[in-house]
A and B are shown apart, each in its own frame.
Chain A
Amino acid sequence: MKKNLIWSWFWIILSLLYFFVPLILTFVFSLQTLKDQFSFISYQRVFEDRGFIRSLIFSTEIGIVTIFLSLALMIPTVYWVRLKAPRIRPVIEFISLLPFVIPAIVLVFGLIRVFSGGLLPLTNTHLGTNFLLVAAYVVIGFPYLYRSIDAGMGAIDVVTLTEAAQSLGANWFTIMFRVIIPNLRAAIFSATFLTLAIVMGEFTVATFLVGLKSFGPYLWQVNQNRAYEGSALVIVSFLITWAFMGLIVLVGRGAGASDAAGPR
C-alpha cells in the first residue's frame, strides 16, 4: 500500500515537472530582456505591438464565427440523429474522426485548389478567404464539438424530453430553443471554448490562407525574430487558453447541477 503511494507521488511529481519546468523556464526567460535584471518589458512590447492586438482580434472574430456556424450545423444534426436515426450514430462518429486522420496541410491545399478558380473563386477576396478559413476550422473543430454535444445530449435523454414537450403542445422550434439547448449549456460552452482555443493556436491552415493576420502565424513569426517577446507571447497565449479552460470548468460546474435529469 505504502509502496503504491510512493510510486503514485513519483509519477504525479514527474508529470508536473514535465509540464511546468519548460513553462517556468520560458516565463523566466521572457523576463530577462534587460541584462542582469528581471522585467516585464517583453510583455509591454508584446502588448504595444499592433500586430498582436490585430491578430488576436482577427482570430477571435474567426473563432466566434466558427463557433456559431459549427453549433448551427452540429446541434440540429446530432439532435436529429439521436431522435430519428440512432442507427447512423456510428457513421457520424467515424466521420467526426476524419479531421484527425486528414492532415491540416492536405485540407488547406484541397481548399485552395478547389476554391481558387472555377465556379466559386473564394480565395480572390478577403471575405472569401476568411470564409474558407472558417469552413476549415469548422472541419478541424468537428471532432471536439461533435463529442461534446453528443455527450451532452446523451446526458439529458433528448428523446423523452422531446416527446414530453410535444405532448404539451410544443413545436420543433420551441423544443429546440426552450428545452434542448438550455439543457446543453455545459456541453455547448465546453465545445465553444475548445473550438476557440483550437482556432487561436492553429498555424497551418491560417498560414496558407491569411498569413500573419491570424494569431497562430503571428506567434510563430515573433518567435522567429524576437526571442524574449516570443517567450512572453507564449506565456500570454497559455494564459488565454487557461482562461478558456477555467471558464469551461466554471460553466460546467454551474450547469452540472441542472443537467441532472432522469430518475433519482
Chain B
Amino acid sequence: MAYLTLTDISKQFGETFAVQDFNLDVEKGEFVSFLGPSGCGKTTTLRMVAGFELPTGGQITINGADITNKAPNQRNVGMVFQAYALFPNMSVSQNIGFGLRIRKEPESAIKERVEEMIRLIHLEKHIDKYPYQLSGGQQQRVSLARALANRPQVLLLDEPLSALDAKIRVSLRSEIRAIQKTLGITAIFVTHDQEEALSISDRIVVMNEGRIEQVGTPFQIYNFPETQFVANFVGSLNTATAEIADPEQGLLHMDGVQLSTAEKLIGLQKGDKVRIAIRPERFSFASEQKKANVVDCTVENITFLGSVVRIHLLIGNTKFHMDTFNYPSLELPKIGDKTQVTCSLRAVMILGQA
C-alpha cells in the first residue's frame, strides 16, 4: 500500500467542484508536484492533505491511517507557505523550535534539533535574527527548516518559490530537492511553473479544472502527453489539424504537406481529421540525407531567447515554431527565406480527433 493515498477526493464550494475524482498514491520518500494553471484545484488538494480544508467526499490516508477528518494540528504534516508565514515575534531558532516546544520535548533535544536544522539550511550565522532581518530566500529556508524540525510524515510545499526572484528560485529549488532526498521525506509540491515541476519532481500530477489530466514522470509528461491540455500546458507546442491519409502507414496530410508518425494510427480511418502536435525543439533544418518528414517552409521571423533561438515558420498555411540551440557558429536563414525543416517520426504526436 502506498504511503500517502488520496482516494476519490472531491471538494465542492457551493455548486462548484474545486476538486473532483482525485485519486493518487504517493510512495514513501517520493517527491510529487501538482502542476496546473490558477484555479485548477492543486492548492485545494494540498490544503485537504494539510487539513485546512475538509473534502466533500473521499478518503486521505498516511501510512495506512485515515486522516480525512483529523484536525490540522493532529496530522503531523509539515507545510511551507508561499508567504513564508514565519512568526514575526520569534527569532529564527524560536521559529524552528516552535513545533518541538508544542510537543513539550526537552529543551536540550529542541536545541540539538534546531541546530541540526540550521546546519541543513546553512543559516548558522542568522540563528538569532528575526524574520524581518532576513531576505526572502533566507526566510523561506527557515520556513522549510521549521516544517522539517517536527519530523513530519509528509512535507507540503504550497508554491514556496513564487515570491522569490528568478535566480534564488532556481538555487532554492535545488536545495529543497537535495534536503528532501537527504531526509527521504515524502513531499508534495504545488506549482504553476512547469520548469520548476519538471526539474525537481519524481512524478508530476497535471491538473485542470479540478481533475487530474495526467500523472507521470517529468519525462513522460513532457514527451508523451496524454491529453491536449497536458501537451499545451507543459512546454511549448505547435499544434495543427491534419487529415489521415493512410492509418496503416501512419501517414497524415496537413495543408498539402505529408507527415509520418512512428506508429500505426489505430482506431482512425482515412479522411479522419486529427489534432497533431510537434514540440519546437524537435524540428531541425533538413539535411540531404533526411527523407522522412521533410517539409518546405518560409522563415517568417527569428527571435533570440538567450540559449535558444526561436524561428517562426510558415508550413503550408500553418504557423510553426522551431527552437534551436544558440551557439556562435550557428548559421541562421534570413527572414523570408524558403527552406526545408524536418522532424523525426516520433516527434509527431496525435492529440485526438479534431
Contacts and interface: CB of A to CB of B under 8 A. Distances in A.
Interface stretch (B69-77, B226-234, B268-276): B69-77
Contacts of B73: 166-171
A164 B139 contact: no
Contact of A183 (B78, B88, B99): B88
B85 A169 contact: no
A263 interface: yes
A93 interface: no
A214 to B, nearest CB: 37
A163 B135 CA distance: 22
Contact of A163 (B74, B81, B146): B81
A259 B90 CA distance: 11
Interface in A54-113: none
Interface in A166-202: 166-171, 174, 179, 182-183, 185
Interface stretch (A42-50, A154-162, A203-211): A154-162
A118 interface: no
B98 A168 contact: yes
- Taking residues whose C-beta sits less than 8 angstroms from the other chain, chain A's interface range is 20 to 34
B34 interface: no
Q: Pick the most buried of A164, A167, A257, A262: most chain B CB atoms within 10 A of its CB.
A: A167
8 contacts: A160-B81, A164-B79, A165-B87, A165-B98, A167-B156, A169-B99, A182-B89, A257-B130
A263 B163 contact: yes
B51 A166 contact: yes
Given A161-B85, A167-B73, A168-B150, 17 more contacts: A163-B72, A164-B146, A166-B73, A167-B77, A167-B156, A169-B74, A169-B103, A170-B73, A179-B87, A179-B89, A183-B87, A258-B88, A258-B132, A261-B86, A263-B84, A263-B136, A263-B163
Contacts of A165: 87, 98
A174 B87 CA distance: 13
B85 A157 contact: yes
A260 interface: yes
Nearest to A166: B72
- Taking residues whose C-beta sits less than 8 angstroms from the other chain, chain B's interface range is 35 or more
Contacts of B132: 257-258, 260-261, 264
A264 B87 contact: no
Interface in B111-128: none
Contact of A168 (B131, B136, B146): B146
A171 B103 CA distance: 11
Contacts of B52: 163, 166
Nearest to B77: A167
A76 B139 CA distance: 28
B102 interface: yes
B146 A262 contact: no
B147 interface: yes
Contacts of A183: 87-89
A169 B102 contact: yes
B89 A164 contact: no
B50 interface: yes
A263 to B, nearest CB: 4
Given A166-B73, A183-B87, A264 B135 contact: yes
Interface of A: 156-157, 160-161, 163-171, 174, 179, 182-183, 185, 257-264
User: Majority SS of interface residues in chain A?
Assistant: helix
B160 to A, nearest CB: 11
B286 interface: no
Contacts of A171: 73
A185 B78 CA distance: 28
Contacts of B83: 157, 160, 262-263
A167 B88 contact: no
A136 B16 CA distance: 46
Q: Pick the most buried of B99, B135, B146: most chain A CB atoms within 10 A of its CB.
A: B99
Given A157-B83, A165-B98, A167-B73, A258 B78 contact: no
A75 to B, nearest CB: 15
B96 to A, nearest CB: 10
B70 to A, nearest CB: 11
A156 to B, nearest CB: 6
B50 A163 contact: yes
A262 B139 CA distance: 9
A46 to B, nearest CB: 42
Contacts of A260: 88, 131-132
A171 B101 CA distance: 12
A259 B79 contact: no
A258 B84 CA distance: 15
A161 B86 CA distance: 7
Contacts of A262: 83-84
B46 to A, nearest CB: 11
A207 B147 CA distance: 57
Interface string B154-196: 0010000001000000000000000000000000000000000
Nearest to B88: A261
A258 B147 CA distance: 21
B74 to A, nearest CB: 8
A262 B83 CA distance: 6
Interface in B53-96: 71-79, 81, 83-89
